[in-house]
Structure 1
Amino acid sequence: MTDSDDLLTRNGSGPLSGQVVVDFSRVLAGPYATMMLADLGATVIKVEGPKGDDTRHWSPPARDDDSTYYLSINRNKYDIVLDFADPEDLATAQDLATRADIIVENFKPGGLAKFGLDYESVSASNPEVVYASITGFGADNPLPGYDLLVQAMSGFMSITGSPDGSPYRAGVAVFDVITGLHTTIGILAAVQHRTVTGEGQLVETNLMSSAMSGLANQTAAYAAAGVTPTRMGNAHPSLYPYQPMETKDGEIIIAAANDGQFAALAKALGRPDWCEDERFAKAKIRNAHRDELEPELLEALQAHTAQEWFDKLTAVGLPCAPINSISQGVERARDLGLDPIVETGQGERVIPTIRNPIRLSKSEVAYDLAPPSLGADSDIVRAWLRRSSDQ
């Protein structure tokens, strides 16, 4: 365990200030988790091979020479290039592991053992380390852990898309992101355990298990009731209306999640009689009669445009939303005062990134380090190691 001292300082006083994280991960789940830790004040040292993280090469889109994929998940980190095939570089990696408070890796199961960088090897010399290992399908399964494979194997794609069409993947690597969040939660729990007991431990997550958890009510339908969910397009299996609906000039999302909201919708659409109709008044029965209600709903919605309905329905407290592009979504967040884009870094390298969604009243999230160029901090990290070994 070590302090990050003056060579690897971070601005701000985040709750994880002083925690040194060695990041042996790449692509999305691991780097997303380490960025969360870095945003909260940890000193994160990203270790890359000579060719760099795969996502550095995933473009377009790009900002100058940088892949925006890489930029999205690597702010607030120091960067060192190490070739584990080189004995000196491997010794440096092992030295980093010995000095780490937290390690995150997502190599293939057992892939770091031959380098003496697996949990058993590292914890022998650094027993207080919190060591997070991310795999695709668990430590005993060598299957490659790509998000798209998990979207297919977990059943997610079977419930995504139109009922009469092909299965679809999500528009983002959803289980990589969820696994990154689960990993962050596991690390923070282990850090708290270490604070209380002085013991480090191994934290294991995998994309498949995160998918089982992240599918929430869909996997619960099978586990608890033996029901296998199927594709329903944009419809909800338990609620109606809770989907996009056509208006005079386009679609609007309408979300009537309870009977009170449905009553507000019926009144706003000039059809209070729906609340007296035994087919529609109550959610469970309304859900069973959605095919009868939908033509009447669509007919009523033709009276106004999507924007006009948004204004009218919002005014009476009914959840609804326009269907935005990504750019429109970011601008809507800005209009709502959420300040979604933050300038990260200082000096010559300042990169716009998306704000961390966590707000802390006592310790602010920091954005002092732009996503690093490959090997940008190799010299300073080595100097920090030398200084640490001399103390």
Structure 2
Amino acid sequence: MVTLPLEGLRVVDFTQALSGPYCTLLLGDFGADVIKVERAGTGDDSRRWGPPFVGDTAAYFLSVNRNKRSIALDLKNEDDRERAVELTTTADVVVENWRPGTADRLGLGHEEMRALNPRLVYCSISGFGETSQRPGYDQVVQGTSGWMSITGAPDGSPTKSGLPIADIASGMFATQAILASLVRRDRTDEGAYIDLAMQDSLVSMLTYQAGTYFATGQSPRRNGNQHATLAPYGTFDTADGQVNISVGNDRQWHSLCEAIGSPDLAADARFATNSDRVANTASLRTELESKLTLLTTGATLAAADLAGVPAGAIHDLEEVLTSRDLEDRGMILTSSHSRLGELQSLGSPWHIDGASSTARLAPPDLGQHTDEIIDELHRRRAAVLSSAK
């Protein structure tokens, strides 16, 4: 049996919604013991973000909260706050995504917690960083970071991503920073404080789009499903649907033209090089689609495969989530919930020594593990007192 990389590490999770829970989901999948501290009575807001619901719990919540134990605490109650403080003294990692300043007001800020537990890695996720009081939900940050300005049809309105990319990206970057800090802790025996902003996460992912601005001083425009610097690279019509084709160099372009029976396109001086094709994108699209609309989607994909050109169909989620590819890669996880029955969720994409993520624990009911976790604290306290005698 493969040992998961974070087995034996404890994560105390003061997060809700998506950015923080996605981070702690990844840590839980890596084997950490994740203790999700939820507000007594109401819990994580996303428990109610629906429809759809499975029983009385939102599918949204269920999608990102496996491999966690839930304890329900009222952090304005002194006894419960002390339990939360004691939990952090047992932790390797704390993750919170309250509005900046909230943790300090609750007596759970990073300075106070690291004074009690110097080896603690403490991560704060916020919309705009710990120096800003601005609240930041995903769509707000997609707008402020520039992402929406480069997403959508050229003649349409700025458009958000189909997924909450600011939440997911910040959760992933938080996980990276936590893992890097744990590696450093192994060398120095010192913890860390991580200040991670959703805005910074999306800005850091602008990469070549930001490079375009730095090179030209001009904000990139929306390109819809096409590419600003490669052609043909985008979505194209076929006789019975659409495909994505991504030509990355002139050799691939010539091979594609041969494979679809149109060597004349490769010989056309307007399309000789990638720079020529980008300069003549509209004409290229018209000429290429006049050939592809004589072929079915299947025939187009077969031709692209023969040419060694990356191409693919455009699937809906039913096609994706029921595909053999996901089954073969172990990407659909199943867990058994005591009230809700069998639940499915998406696994993490990594494979380490042949093993990948598993659903060790179903997403918890609110406070499901409160008594269990408090009992662990009592036993730990008793052991500390006994060793001190």
TM-score over 0.5 for the alignment? yes
Structure 2 gap segments, 5+ residues each: 384-389
Cα distance in 2 between the residues matched to 1:351 and 1:237: 42
Corresponding residue for residue 87 of structure 1? 78
Alignment-mate amino acid for residue 383 of structure 1? D
- Contact 1:350-1:370 within 8 A present in 2 as well: no
- Contact 1:255-1:318 within 8 A present in 2 as well: yes
Cα distance in 1 between the residues matched to 2:43 and 2:345: 20
Cα distance in 2 between the residues matched to 1:17 and 1:214: 31
Cα distance in 1 between the residues matched to 2:355 and 2:287: 52
Corresponding residue for residue 16 of structure 1? 6
Alignment of 1:196-211 (within 5 A): 196-211=187-202
Cα distance in 2 between the residues matched to 1:336 and 1:269: 32
**What is the root-mean-square deviation of aligned Cα atoms in Å?**
1.7
Corresponding residue for residue 127 of structure 1? 118
Specify which of 285, 296, 307 is matched with residue 276 of structure 2: 285
Secondary structure, aligned partner of 2:323: helix
Alignment pair present for 1:32 and 2:31: no
Q: How far has the Cα of 1:335 moved from its partner?
A: 6.4
Secondary structure, aligned partner of 1:279: helix
Specify which of 56, 60, 66 is matched with residue 75 of structure 1: 66
Cα distance in 1 between the residues matched to 2:228 and 2:324: 29
Alignment pair present for 1:332 and 2:323: yes
Percent identity between the aligned chains?
Answer: 38
Alignment pair present for 1:187 and 2:178: yes
Secondary structure, aligned partner of 1:46: strand
Specify which of 343, 353, 356 is matched with residue 361 of structure 1: 353
Q: How far has the Cα of 1:386 moved from its partner?
A: 0.7
Alignment of 1:275-354 (within 5 A): 275-332=266-323, 334=325, 337-345=328-336, 349-354=341-346
TM-score with structure 1 length normalisation?
A: 0.93
Does 1 or 2 have the higher relative contact order (CA < 8 Å, sep 6+)? 1
Alignment-mate amino acid for residue 348 of structure 2? N
Secondary structure, aligned partner of 1:366: coil
Cα distance in 2 between the residues matched to 1:227 and 1:72: 40
Specify which of 352, 366, 378 is matched with residue 370 of structure 2: 378
Q: How far has the Cα of 1:216 moved from its partner?
A: 1.8
Bigger drift between 49-58 and 362-371 goes to 362-371
Structure 1 gap segments, 5+ residues each: 1-10
Corresponding residue for residue 8 of structure 1? none
Specify which of 50, 55, 60 is matched with residue 64 of structure 1: 55
Cα distance in 1 between the residues matched to 2:122 and 2:104: 14
Specify which of 33, 38, 59 is matched with residue 43 of structure 1: 33
Corresponding residue for residue 139 of structure 1? 130
Q: How far has the Cα of 1:12 moved from its partner?
A: 6.5
Secondary structure, aligned partner of 2:270: coil
Cα distance in 1 between the residues matched to 2:281 and 2:355: 49
Counting matched residue pairs gives 381
Query: 1:44-86 CA deviation, whole Å, 9 max, x = no partner?
Result: 0000002111110011122222211111111100000011111
Distance 1:335 1:372, change over 3 A: closer
TM-score with structure 2 length normalisation?
A: 0.94
Corresponding residue for residue 260 of structure 1? 251
- Contact 2:347-2:358 within 8 A present in 1 as well: no
